[in-house]
């Protein structure tokens, strides 16, 4: 049995462009967790295996193959090694800097997981990684890093955002019984807490959809409108400027917002679309929790089963709609500039105007207007990494029990 005082938690947050790892500390008195001072990041593009201009396999093909034999392309195999090597190297560097033993590692990654939960079989914006955990462990072993236990499973970055917001001292879930979290970084993360308990979206999939599963009228995943990476993609499409050039020039969503304020037509269109779909998404969450799915969006995967309108949480009032990560920063920065925050509120009000359920409207509206105070901007930027460490600890405790 591992002595609690000697366990070193490491939380890994993997994304489409980089992997970030943190030492995680636990307060034995409160049972709450916090980030340590040591953070290591690795960019995938710094590895020779990285394939510049990599194009992911079509999502529909990925979904079709994920329950059978996955046909990785040669580019996927090589590009994927950059992802796995970067994650391993982050763990190696943290371990050596801390001179730590009894390492417990939690890893959050976007994408659909393999049946053993140690690999990724569908990833919208990157290569599939069916041997993710196994390759990382081999690289750690070769570097002389010994884990206290094998990587148990890869977690959902969305679920880890929820865990982070619940178990951090300043987490936004901690003071609410019913809340929804939307985190927008490279991708998008959905999490919710209902009746005082975290409820993973996978546990509620018969009646609620993840943001990335739904699509706009243009056929794009809602993830494009609710994530930092997606907003940059939309601007690239609207402006004709390649993503590589945008990255080189340092043009990310904050800079795109500045362009919109300055009158750039492509940027203005992007933020108008973002505000529309972000507002519609937040309204859909409120409505679905209150009275069940109403078909507000179509799905990226046309074969996805229809959602059920009945669920155990009818007439649940969401005390908070939490916006986190870079999307939260962007929303906060936009207040008073009539470029994102205000148009999102206008969209929510327009959706409520279509509703005839007076009880539902009265729960959320004041003087026929949505109460903006229910939108809460999370300051926990590293929620996924913190949640990954929390999950590693909870998994360890469960096995030790």
366 DSSP β-pair partners: 369
Two tokens, residue 177: 């019984």
Name the token pair of 7.
């366990």
Element (H, E) at 184: strand 179-184
- Looking at the domain assignment, is residue 165 inside a domain? no
> Is 2 a residue whose pLDDT tops 60?
no
Residue 61 has pLDDT above 70, yes or no: yes
Distance CA 164, CA 166 (A): 5
Quick one: 244 and 331 in the same domain? yes
Residues 84-104, mean pLDDT to the nearest whole number: 94
Assigned domain for 167 exists: no
Work out the end-to-end distance of the chain between its first and last CA atoms, rounded to an integer number of angstroms. 10
The CA distance from 19 to 11, in Å, is 11
pLDDT for the residue numbered 124? 77
In a domain, 24, yes or no: yes
Which residue range is the domain that position 118 belongs to?
4-158+383-400
CB 271 within 8 A of CB 310: no
Cα separation of 309 and 291, whole Å?
A: 7
For the chain, give the mean pLDDT: 93
Tokens of 211: 């943001």
pTM of the model: 0.86
In a domain, 391, yes or no: yes
In a domain, 362, yes or no: yes
CATH of the domain at 216: 3.30.420.40
| Residues in Cβ contact with 390 at an 8 Å cutoff, skipping those fewer than 6 apart | 11, 24, 33, 106, 160, 163, 164, 167
Average pLDDT on 11-30 reads 89
Q: What is the mean pLDDT of residues 216-240?
A: 95
Strands 154-156 and 365-366: unpaired
- Same domain assignment for residues 39 and 68: yes
Residue 152 and residue 97 share a domain = yes
Same domain? For 224 and 332 the reply is: yes
Inter-residue contact 385 to 159 (CB < 8 Å): no
How many Å apart are CA 63 and CA 70, to the nearest integer?
10
Q: Do 328 and 201 have their domain in common?
A: yes
Identify the band that residue 401 occupies on the pLDDT scale cut at 50, 70 and 90: low
Place of tokens 């108008």: 272
Assess whether 237 and 144 both reside in one domain: no
Task: Using pLDDT thresholds of 50, 70 and 90, give the confidence band for residue 3.
Answer: very low
Residue 164 lies in a domain: no
pLDDT at 281 over 70: yes
159-169: pLDDT as tens digits: 999 999 999 98
Query: Do 121 and 235 share a domain, yes or no?
Result: no
Do 176 and 115 lie in one domain? The reply is: no
- Which of 131-135, 154-158, 295-299, 359-363 shows the lowest per-residue confidence on average (mean pLDDT)? 154-158
Other C-beta atoms lying within 10 Å of the C-beta of residue 318:
22
**Do 207 and 329 share a domain, yes or no?**
yes
Q: Is the torsion defined by CA of 374, 267, 158, 393 positive or negative?
A: negative
User: In terms of Cα–Cα distance, which of 207, 163, 208, 203 is closest to 183?
Assistant: 163
Q: What is the mean pLDDT of residues 222-228?
A: 95
Strands annotated E in 27-115: 33-43, 103-109, 112-113
Reported as a pLDDT band with limits 50, 70 and 90, residue 312 is very high
Residue 15 falls inside a structural domain: yes
pLDDT-based confidence at 83, cuts 50/70/90? very high
Strand residues in 15-166 grouped as ranges (E): 18-26, 33-43, 103-109, 112-113, 120-122, 154-156
Give me the percent of the chain exceeding a pLDDT of 70. 99
Local confidence band at 97 (pLDDT 50, 70, 90 cut-offs):
very high
Total structural domains in the chain? 2
Burial 336-349 (b: 16+ CB within 10 A, else e): eeebbbebbbbbbe
State whether 211 and 354 are in the same domain.
yes
d(C-alpha 276, C-alpha 213), whole Å: 17
Is position 166 within any domain? no
pLDDT surpassing 50 at residue 1 = no
377: left (phi over 0), alpha (psi -120 to 50) or beta: beta
Residues 209 and 315 in one domain: yes
Residues 114 and 182 in one domain: no
Radius of gyration over alpha carbons of the chain, in Å? 21
Nearest to 152 by CA among 394, 398, 397, 392: 392
Residue 48, Cβ density class (10 Å: 0-12 exposed, 13-18 middle, ≥19 buried)? exposed
Tell me the mean pLDDT in the region 314-327.
96
Cβ neighbours for 158, distance < 8 A, ≥ 6 positions apart = 110, 183, 188, 189, 190, 191, 201, 210
């Amino acid at each position: 049995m591992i002595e609690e005082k000697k366990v070193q938690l490491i939380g890994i947050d993997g994304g489409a462009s980089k992997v970030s790892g943190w030492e995680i500390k636990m307060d034995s008195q409160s049972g709450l967790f916090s980030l340590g001072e040591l953070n290591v990041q690795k960019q995938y593009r710094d590895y020779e295996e990285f394939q510049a201009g990599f194009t992911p396999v079509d999502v529909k093909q990925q979904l079709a193959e994920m329950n059978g034999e996955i046909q990785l392309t040669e580019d996927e195999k090589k590009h994927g090694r950059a992802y796995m090597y970067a994650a391993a190297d982050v763990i190696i560097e943290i371990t050596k800097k801390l001179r730590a033993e009894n390492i417990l590692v939690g890893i959050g990654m976007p994408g659909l997981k393999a049946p053993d939960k140690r690999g990724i079989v569908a990833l919208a914006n990157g290569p599939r990684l069916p041997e993710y955990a196994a390759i990382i462990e081999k690289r750690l072993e070769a570097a002389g890093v010994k884990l206290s236990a094998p990587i148990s499973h890869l977690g959902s970055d969305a679920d880890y955002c929820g865990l982070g917001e619940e178990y951090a001292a300043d987490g936004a879930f901690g003071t609410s019984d019913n809340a929804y979290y939307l985190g927008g970084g490279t991708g998008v993360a959905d999490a919710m807490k209902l009746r005082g308990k975290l409820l993973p979206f996978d546990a509620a999939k018969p009646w609620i959809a993840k943001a990335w599963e739904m699509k706009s009228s243009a056929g794009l995943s809602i993830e494009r409108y609710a994530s930092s990476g997606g907003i940059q993609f939309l601007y690239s499409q609207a402006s004709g400027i390649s993503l590589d050039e945008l990255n080189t020039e340092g043009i990310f969503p904050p800079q795109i917002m500045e362009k919109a304020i300055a009158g750039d037509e492509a940027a203005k269109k992007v933020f108008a679309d973002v505000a529309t779909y972000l507002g519609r998404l937040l309204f859909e969450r409120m409505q679905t929790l209150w009275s069940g799915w109403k078909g507000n969006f179509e799905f990226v995967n046309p074969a996805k089963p229809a959602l059920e309108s009945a669920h155990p949480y009818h007439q649940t009032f969401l005390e908070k709609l939490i916006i986190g990560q870079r999307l939260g920063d962007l929303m906060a920065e936009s207040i008073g500039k009539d470029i994102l925050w205000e148009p999102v509120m206008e969209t929510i009000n327009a959706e409520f105007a279509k509703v005839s359920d007076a009880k539902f409207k009265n729960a959320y509206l004041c003087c026929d207007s949505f109460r903006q105070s229910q939108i809460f901007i999370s300051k926990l930027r590293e929620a996924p990494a913190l949640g990954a460490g929390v999950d590693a600890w909870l998994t360890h405790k469960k096995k030790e029990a």
